[in-house]
A and B are shown apart, each in its own frame.
Chain A
Amino acid sequence: ILNVEQSPQSLHVQEGDSTNFTCSFPSSNFYALHWYRWETAKSPEALFVMTLNGDEKKKGRISATLNTKEGYSYLYIKGSQPEDSATYLCAFPGANNLFFGTGTRLTVIP
Chain B
Amino acid sequence: DSGVTQTPKHLITATGQRVTLRCSPRSGDLSVYWYQQSLDQGLQFLIQYYNGEERAKGNILERFSAQQFPDLHSELNLSSLELGDSALYFCASSVATEYEQFFGPGTRLTVL
Selected from B90, B101, B102, B105, the residue in CB contact (under 8 A) with A98 is: B101
The interface centre, meaning the residue of B2, B43, B105 with most chain A CB atoms within 10 A of its CB, is B43
Known contacts A43-B2, A45-B103; A96 and B42 CB within 8 A of each other: no
Is B104 interfacial (CB 8 A cutoff)? yes
CA distance A67 to B16 in the complex (A): 48
B-contact 0/1 string along A94-107, CB 8 Å cutoff: 11111111110000
Which residues of chain A come closer than 8 Å to B105, judged between CB atoms?
43
Which residues of chain A come closer than 8 Å to B90, judged between CB atoms?
43-44
Is chain B's binding surface mostly helix, strand, loop or mixed? loop
Known contacts A43-B2, A96-B55, A97-B45; A49 and B97 CB within 8 A of each other: no
- What 9 new A-B contacts, CB under 8 Å, besides A89-B42, A100-B42, A103-B42? A36-B101, A43-B105, A46-B100, A51-B98, A91-B101, A94-B97, A95-B97, A97-B45, A100-B43
